[in-house]
Structure 1
Amino acid sequence: MLRITSTAALLLAAFSAIPAAAQTPVDLQWGVKIPLRDGVELQATLYRPQGQREGLPCILSLTPYIAQNYHDRGMYFAANGYVFASVDVRGRGNSGGTFTPFLQEARDGHDIVEWLATQSYCNGKITMWGGSYGGYDQWATAKEKPAHLATIVPVAAVQPGLDFPMRNNVFYPYDMRWLTYVSGRATQDKLFGDNKLWTAQFRSLFEAHAPFNTLDARIGNPSPIFQEWAANPLQGPYWDRLNPTAEQYAALDFPILTITGQYDGDQPGALAFYRQHMQHGPATARERHYLIIGPWDHAGTRTPPAEYAGLKFGAASQLDMNALHKAWYDWTLKSGAKPEFLKNRVAYYVTGPDEWRYADSLEAITASERGYFLASDGGRANDVYASGRLEEGKARRSGSDRYVYDPLDVSLAADDAADQSGAELLDQAGVLRRHGKQLVYHTAPLAADTDIAGFFRLSAWLRIDQPDTDFNVDVYAIAPDGSSLFLTSDVLRARHRESLRESRLAVPGKVERYDFERFTFVARRLVRGSRLRLVIGPVNSFNLQKNYNSGGVVNAESAKDARTVTVELLHDARHPSALYVPIAAERSVMVVADKR
């Protein structure tokens, strides 16, 4: 079952557990007005080293989450020789204008950078700080190429249209939770934080089989923004306008540090920005674009935790992010030494041995792919305890497996709502509950410790008897004692099997190859005796938009449109369905010890 914790993490910065600021005196100026080209004024809170006598590099944080939430960051950087400006985006907090998520940040960010550069306390060198939405607006600002923007550090950057407000063109009910959080000017933090309320709201929509595009009205917050998003379910011009073009990437010629996590819900967006810049950016800039992938969740990319959702991490994973940012800024803005942590252009954390490893590129992390071909006996693959197999070598025998999905089936909603163990990555109750309603395959126990690092792929030959349906694919590591660890997932709507930029309904009864190639990054040691578990099933969760399989407009579909679908997965020499596992490069790489 696709997990909301790993694929739709909150678009929030980590407001709690932030390291305390150094006790060096800081001058604070609240209510600084920043004029924009259209006459609107944004409000900033300014932090400066006490008694500052000369211009210093300025750090800009541009946020819809209200500027005061970054007080601790402002205090830290001002105490360490930087000017820090925490700015409310247009229409939020104390800033003027009207807030339209994502649309406004590019031009406004440009204007703020150029205004800061003219102030007496600034030496003309500007950088940015922030994660999630604050990671996105760094890319948005950069695409406008303000002359005084010298570097960016986008953390857990959401890419609109790719991983929010939808993943692979499948929307989240969470969209309305977030839009409610940023409704009005003040932060609706108590309302946003009421998990029981939102679970009940989303479950109600799910069980009532109400059209997805009625969600805003059902929860009492009619939203033109939500309606506009829902009316644009394909990647295309609507979403493209928010992100850099190939030409704009080509103009980004300054140093960049990208940071994300293996369980960061916005990892797809963060890595998409990285890959697009590596594809289109100038060679000199690509050489100075560094990437860090930790083991963290979304919030942990700002303040790395020792544990997330039941999974514990080694001490070396708990980087001091303030110190890392400062070291980066010192290098790129003050001619200091390159941060010691950055041994190579890509740093990634391997859980199990709990160590940092390095590579020249994202692709170089993976040495090879190991193919496991799907197989079963007599079509028995619908249960954890009566599963199919993942076999090395090649497809050896003819066969197929199938599951039947009725979109009116909401029988597991109560159990799903009750899952609040706090150890979601280790919980396999959902997989066990869905016996008979999914396909499950296991490898044989591994003969030796195996390090995996990179991106899984699944090539599956499928036949469906309806024009559309949604697929969810999860991969787990099963330890020798039978315990489970969620590794990665992918989701795919049949009509978008060829491209996220076009819609082509399936032909009922026709066998076609479906390539699942958007799994999230994972790096982990699988100990001897472990197995991999592959689970393929429908998207049937109150945390995701429901597809009723009719081939109509998914956002407007309801119970009257529901069609039960039979999904058949073929595995034979002609239809070699296979899972491809990324095998890590040899450990001829440097390892960083904990230096805290």
Structure 2
Amino acid sequence: MSRILERSLKLPPPQTRDLAVHRDLQVPMRDGAVLLADRWAPRSGAEDLPTLLIRTPYGRAGLFGKAMVIPFAERGFQVLVQSTRGGFGSGGVFDPLRQEREDGLDTLDWVIAQPWFGEAMVLFGPSYMGFVQWAVADELPPQVKAMIPQVTESALTREFLRGDGFSLETPFGWGAMVATQERSFPLLRQHSQHRRTERAIWTLPLKDADVRAIGERSQYLQDILVHDADDPFWSRLDHRERVATTAAPVSSIGGWFDIFLDGQLRDFKALQEAGKDARLTIGPWTHAEFNNVSMMEVLEFGLAHARGEAPPERDPVRLFVMGEEAWRDFPSWPPPGYEPQRFHLQSGGRLSAAAPPEGGPSRYRYDPADPTPSVGGTSMMQGGRKDNRELESRPDVLTFTTAPLDADVEVVGEVSAEVWFQSSLPFADVFVRLCDVDEEGVSSNVCDGLTSLTGADVPTLAEVNLWATAHRFKRGHRIRIQVSSGAFPRYARNHGTGDPIATAVELRAADQTVHHDPERPSAIILPCATATPKP
């Protein structure tokens, strides 16, 4: 395992391969529950090493657990990996995300009091394991020298339930996964469970989908269907106010196609505006991709701070610029030197920086019984850059495309769209996607977003947040946007009835109209480079 990880992740040689594992250490919580943890450390000299703390709901053993631990325990850390409440031997009841602040603070106090603690600690982990860092970020003891949250953010579940589009696939898939992960033969069951979950998402009403997916009720899945983002029910899961007051340096790692990118950028901007020691790295990844960037950040940024040293110097923001397929450094997010430029939708499927001329609108029909599918994009498992040509051939997807570019167009920052939209029904969704079309006609998605409308049966200006990107459209390529009314199951399908998502059973098809004339100019707004950047 050690040598495979070293080769596959291109890690520096280890300081030792002789590790000792102290299993099932008992960590008491304030309410009497006892959580279990494993400590991995070199067999000799470990007491002087900093501690890397990983708190996880996914278990401490197996391939995933070892891959998260071994590289660091061999290269300068002792690693404590703890099972969060209610899972894999830890006491209490697993109530997703709700008890991580109290349990996290109690764990920090316990670690610092141990005789083997080496006076410095670094917090690390992706996704849920990053969220637990934000849950305690405002009350870190001075022994915590750095935080390295990866593909995560400080509010998690709230982000799925926003009014601009109910994200169904991610919370439902995750809820089904954690509900079944401790059943027997998990690796053998994984594929069949995934297929069951995929089928269950089509269930009407959705409140019965959890039973179809996992064979029993899931309180978490019921909660996401009943409580929207603004419901006080989620307040214990919202740690946004803690971000700007953290005392530890933070290195945040995200992906352009990660489900938490929008919130992660919000958290970084909060750190940046508060003048905190923070840096950001974003690569061309989805949520679950495993690579060595975060590993190296732990060994370079985390270990340096734990030793009281300066990490290798770099600009605060490092972005993978897609299209150019290269890493570049920037002083801030969003970076300077990029100004919004409007590209207008026009009749005949044209997209142009010129103002739209007179012309009739574009139309399509959306049927939630045959919803427009999600292809690539932000996803937990199967997103990323995909060939969109089959999707764009559907009659419920409009496309608007520029002429071939006579020079490179570089887009870095937040992307948005303004679409003058009208439906035959009051309730409708507007999905907009930015694509790069190469010389062979292959259309690859760059970023996208969806907003839900009420009162859509009259012309309405739909403002759509397409999230952020860093992408260079090469000379000879074309810029394209798609307009449709869904991306299922990335987003829940709009039934067209306005009924609550948990109990809705009726599906109504709708005739949709997109206006693009001088009085109602629909456009995508791209943050474009004002000058050609230096290589």
Q: Which residue of 1 aligns with 2:250?
A: 256
Aligned-partner Cα distance in 2 for 1:294–1:201: 29
Q: Using the alignment, how far apart are the partners of 2:163 and 2:43 within structure 1?
A: 45
Change (3 A) 1:165 1:63: farther
Matched, 1:27 2:20: yes
Measured against aligned partners, the alpha-carbon deviations of 1:446-469 in whole angstroms (never above 9, x if no partner) come to: 011222222321111112232212
Work out which of the residue numbers 572, 575, 579 in structure 1 matches 2:517: 572
The 5 Å alignment of 1:489-504 reads 489-494=448-453
The CA deviation string for residues 437-495 of structure 1, in whole angstroms up to 9 with x for no partner, is 2221111110112222223211111122322122222111000121221111101111x
**Equivalent residue number for residue 475 of structure 1:** 434
Asked if the contact 2:140–2:248 (Cα under 8 Å) also holds between the matched residues in 1, the reply is: no
Q: Deviations over 1:22-75 (max 9, x none)?
A: 343222211111111111111111012322264432110000110123323422
Q: Which 5+ residue runs of structure 2 have no aligned equivalent? A: 377-381
- The alpha carbon displacement at 1:550 in A equals 1.0
State the match for 2:66 in structure 1. 71
Q: Structure 1 pair 430/266, CA: closer, same or farther in 2 (3 Å)?
A: farther
Is 2:165–2:491's contact at 8 Å kept on the other side of the alignment? Answer: no
Pick one of 278, 285, 300 that aligns with 1:327.
300
Match of 1:558 among 500, 505, 528: 505
Read off the aligned partner of 2:129 and give its amino acid letter.
G
Give the secondary-structure state (helix, strand or coil) at the position aligned to 2:335: helix
Cα distance in 2 for partners of 1:513, 1:226 equals 33
Aligned equivalent of 1:126: 121
Contact 1:475/1:534 (CA < 8 Å) preserved in 2?
Answer: yes
Deviation for aligned residue 1:157: 0.5
- Per the alignment, residue 236 of structure 2 pairs with 241
Aligned partners of 1:27 and 1:47 also within 8 Å: yes
Q: Which residue of 381, 387, 398 maps to 1:439?
A: 398
Q: Which letter maps to 1:212?
A: L
Q: For 2:461, which of 479, 490, 513 is the aligned residue?
A: 513
Q: Is the 8 A contact 2:162 2:229 kept in 1?
A: no
2:330 to 359, 377, 387: 359
1:276 lines up with 2:236 in the alignment:
no
Aligned residue pair count:
518
Shift of 1:126: 2.0
Is 266-275 or 480-489 further displaced after alignment?
266-275
1:449-488 matches, cutoff 5 A: 449-488=408-447
Amino acid in structure 2 at the alignment position of 1:467:
P
Residue range with higher mean Cα deviation, 197-206 or 461-470: 197-206
Task: Give the whole-Å Cα distance in 1 for the aligned partners of 2:327 and 2:59.
Answer: 34
Q: Does 1:193 align with 2:190?
A: yes
Match of 1:392 among 338, 341, 353: 353
Alignment match of 1:349 (pick from 311, 320, 325)? 320
TM-score by length of 2: 0.88
- Shift of residue 237, structure 1, vs aligned partner: 2.6
CA deviation profile, 1:161-184 (whole Å, cap 9, x unmatched): 344477944131453432232226
- Amino acid corresponding to residue 190 of structure 2 in structure 1: G
The alignment yields a C-alpha RMSD, in angstroms, of 2.9
Aligned CA distance change for structure 1 residues 429 and 392 (closer, same or farther; 3 Å): closer
**Aligned pairs (5 A) from 1:423-434:** 425-434=385-394
Tell which deviates more after alignment, 84-93 or 209-218.
Answer: 209-218
Give the Cα–Cα distance (whole angstroms) in 2 for the partners of residues 534 and 428 of structure 1.
Answer: 11
Judging changes above 3 Å, is the alpha-carbon distance between structure 1 residues 408 and 79 closer, same or farther for their aligned structure 2 residues?
closer
Q: Tell me the SS of whatever aligns to 2:136.
A: helix
Matching of residue 153 in structure 1 with residue 148 in structure 2: yes
Which amino acid in the other structure matches residue 475 of structure 2?
R
Equivalent residues of 2:34, 2:90 under 8 A apart? yes
* 1:11 aligned residue: none
Counterpart residue number, 2:481? 534
Q: Distance in 1 between matches of 2:364 and 2:46?
A: 71
When the two structures are superposed, what TM-score results if normalisation uses the length of structure 1? 0.80
> Is the alpha carbon distance of 1:424 and 1:151 closer, same or farther for their aligned partners in structure 2, counting shifts above 3 Å?
closer
Equivalent runs, 1:106-117 vs 2, <5 Å: 106-117=101-112
Shift of 1:266: 2.4
2:167 touches 2:491 (CA, 8 Å); kept in 1?
yes
C-alpha spacing 1:67/1:424, structure 2 compared with 1 (3 Å): closer
Does 2:367 match 1:406? yes
Query: In 2 relative to 1, CA 572–177 (structure 1 residues): closer, same or farther, beyond 3 Å?
Result: closer
Residues 430 and 554 (structure 1), Cα distance of their counterparts in 2 relative to 1, 3 Å cut: farther
- Residue of structure 1 equivalent to 2:379: none
Secondary structure of 1:299 counterpart:
coil
Q: Report the Cα distance in structure 2 between the residues aligned to 1:470 and 1:584, rounded to whole angstroms.
A: 31
Residues 20-59 of structure 1 aligned to structure 2 (within 5 Å): 22=14, 23-52=16-45, 54-59=47-52
* Residues 180, 221 of structure 1: 8 Å contact kept: no
Q: Does 1:210 align with 2:204?
A: yes
Q: SS at 2:119's partner residue?
A: strand
1:352 is matched by which residue type in structure 2?
Answer: G
Range that drifts further, 539-548 or 351-360: 539-548
Aligned 8 A contact 1:169 1:234 in 2: no
Question: 8 Å contact 2:251–2:279 — kept in the other structure?
Answer: yes
In structure 2, distance between residues paired with 1:480 and 1:211: 45
Amino acid in the other structure paired with 2:76:
G
Q: Deviations over 1:386-413 (max 9, x none)?
A: xx11111223224322222222336x88
Quickly say closer, same or farther: Cα 1:39–1:551, change in 2 above 3 A. same
| CA drift at 1:427 | 2.1
In 1, the alpha carbon distance for the partners of 2:487 and 2:297 equals 41
CA distance in 1, matches of 2:347, 2:369: 29
Residue identity opposite 2:480 in structure 1: R
Distance (whole Å) between structure 2 residues aligned to residue 324 and residue 73 of structure 1:
13
Query: Are residue 290 (structure 1) and residue 279 (structure 2) matched?
Result: yes
Evaluate the alpha carbon distance shift between residue 475 and residue 191 of structure 1 in structure 2; reply closer, same or farther with a 3 A threshold. Answer: farther
What does 1:163-202 align with in structure 2 at a 5 Å threshold?
163-164=159-160, 168-183=164-179, 186=182, 189-190=186-187, 193-194=190-191, 198-199=194-195, 201-202=197-198
Q: What is the identity, as a one-letter code, of the residue corresponding to 1:473? A: V
The residue type equivalent to 2:522 in the other structure is: S
Structure 1: tracts of 5 or more residues without a match: 1-13, 305-318, 378-387, 417-421, 495-504, 592-596
CA distance in 1, matches of 2:364, 2:160: 29
Residue 215 (structure 1) shift: 0.5
Cα distance between partner residues in 2 of 1:438 and 1:432: 6
Alignment deviations for residues 407-450 of structure 1 (CA, whole Å, 9 cap, x no partner)? 2336x88x99xxxxx9973322432441x222211111101122
SS of structure 1 residue aligned to 2:130: helix
In the superposition, relative to structure 1, how do residues 526 and 169 fare at CA in structure 2: closer, same or farther (>3 Å)?
A: closer
Instruction: Kindly indicate whether residue 210 of structure 2 is the aligned counterpart of residue 222 of structure 1.
Output: no
